[in-house]
Amino acid sequence: MDLQSIRRDYNIGHLTESDVPNTPFQLFESWLNNAVECGLNSDPTAMTVATVDSNSHPSQRIVLLKGFDESGLRFFTNKQSHKGKDIALNPKVSCHFAWLALERQVHFRGNAEPLSEQENDEYFYSRPFESQVAALISNQSQPIGSRDELVRYYQEQLEQYQGKQVPRPQHWGGYRIVPSEVEFWQGGEHRLHDRFIYRLESADNWSVQRLQP
């Protein structure tokens, strides 16, 4: 396979100064709505979250965005997972959205802050029963002997909690990524991409600057 010959041009559109609002969340909401409405085959709310461990080794994984507003982006996970342990040691994270069919990317950098117990409960009990049980039985990122072992335990707990409220594990909950930088990327012809970066200068005050491709 000749990987060097695999290429395509980007010609869907441009991102201009007149398209860039005062805060990044207005533009992000517009782009996310476009991704959802276009019915992309991939999950439009999927984002890659990067963390760093105690040895300064970075890790990335894909999680699903479960809400956002001017205060930041929200996602949920097992806090005893690899990413949860990383965030406990170093809350600085980045996350990345790639809507490649639309020739768009968005990159956030900031701090991950734990959500409240009320927010954790509200989202946990909005999930399907089966997903609640899965969160209860999984020691995320820990070794297990086989899939059969995992499924057997899962089925046992499904039966045990049938018709009952599943207790939310205390180690299961969410984070809010509070951004200090947000970059928008729109593919351009001849690799002359449009890039704009927002930087938080003070509370609710963002600067915005065009970057070279």
Q: How many CB atoms are closer than 10 A to CB 158?
A: 15
Q: Helix, strand or coil for residue 204?
A: coil
Tell me the C-alpha distance between 32 and 122, whole Å.
23
127 is catalytic: no
- Give the helix/strand (H/E) hosting 201: strand 194-202
Q: Helix, strand or coil for residue 150?
A: helix
Tell me the C-alpha distance between 33 and 52, whole Å.
30
What residue ranges in 31-188 does DSSP mark as E strands? 46-52, 58-64, 67-69, 72-78, 92-99, 104-114, 172-186
Which residue of the set 127, 152, 191, 210 is catalytic? 191
Catalytic residue ranges: 191
